[in-house]
């Protein structure tokens, strides 16, 4: 007796599990490509660039991520989790001032490790609900961290939560400007900022070395070329 085709499948039609596996592979390729581009160029890259990097069509990209915010949410969910965890760990430190300084150093290091995340921390994405919820959790924890550190008398009384945003913006700018030419410049910035935030008599973390004149000169040339390319 000759076998008959499954009535639920048209001739040549792929089984549903194979379709789902193919879709999952495309999604992974898209998020991997976006993570690479965001990490090296920042989140200003276009969706079209992400599609080209992933080797998929724009329609395929849109099926998985209808908006830029959807893609950003998927790419940076784990980073935002780490950001929230840094707040929790800082609050668990028995020394609130040490917890505060460690938190600042940890978050700025996250920015340095991923340029895309450096951008994400200084921007808001109202449509990316999960991302913004984790940001809100971290922010609320940071408010408590500020109050505790100020209560010790080691954090300046005039420090505000908005000062953190300014610090992160400055750090993101240094990271973008120096790139690989002077990659540790951000550490010097953070060290100087912590000194500025410390009240008189507060223990201050060691100040990292400044970049060499040659490295900083290379960074300045790099930044000038990058700026001229955007004109």
- The tally of domains found in the chain comes to 2
> Domain check: are 61 and 82 in the same one?
no
> Domain check: are 73 and 97 in the same one?
yes
pLDDT in tens, 119-167: 888 887 877 788 888 888 888 999 999 999 999 999 999 999 999 989 9
> Exposed, middle or buried: residue 228 (CB in 10 Å: 0-12, 13-18, 19+)?
exposed
Nearest Cα residue to 152 out of 97, 88, 89: 97
> Domain check: are 30 and 137 in the same one?
no
**pTM over cut 0.95:** no
List the structure tokens of 83. 């950001």
> Domain check: are 158 and 93 in the same one?
yes
pLDDT in tens, 35-68: 889 887 888 889 999 999 999 999 999 999 988 8
Domain of residue 44 covers: 17-66
């Amino acid at each position: 007796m000759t076998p008959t085709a499954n009535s639920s499948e048209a001739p040549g039609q792929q089984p549903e599990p194979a379709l789902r596996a193919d879709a999952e592979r495309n999604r992974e390729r898209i998020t991997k490509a976006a993570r690479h581009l965001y990490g090296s160029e920042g989140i200003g890259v276009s969706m079209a660039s992400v599609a080209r990097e992933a080797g998929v069509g724009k329609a395929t990209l849109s099926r998985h991520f209808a908006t830029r915010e959807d893609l950003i949410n998927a790419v940076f969910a784990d980073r935002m989790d780490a950001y929230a965890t840094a707040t929790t760990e800082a609050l668990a430190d028995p020394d609130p001032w040490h917890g505060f300084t460690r938190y600042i150093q940890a978050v700025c290091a996250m920015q340095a490790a991923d340029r895309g995340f450096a951008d994400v921390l200084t921007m808001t994405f109202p449509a990316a609900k999960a991302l913004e919820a984790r940001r809100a959790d971290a922010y609320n924890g940071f408010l408590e961290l500020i109050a505790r550190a100020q209560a010790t008398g080691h954090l300046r009384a005039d420090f505000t939560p908005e000062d953190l945003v300014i610090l992160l913006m400055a750090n993101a700018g240094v990271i973008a400007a120096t790139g690989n030419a002077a990659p540790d410049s951000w550490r010097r910035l953070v060290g100087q900022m912590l000194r500025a935030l410390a009240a008189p008599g507060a223990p201050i973390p060691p100040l990292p070395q400044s970049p060499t004149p040659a490295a900083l000169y290379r960074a300045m040339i790099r930044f000038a070329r990058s700026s001229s390319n955007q004109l």
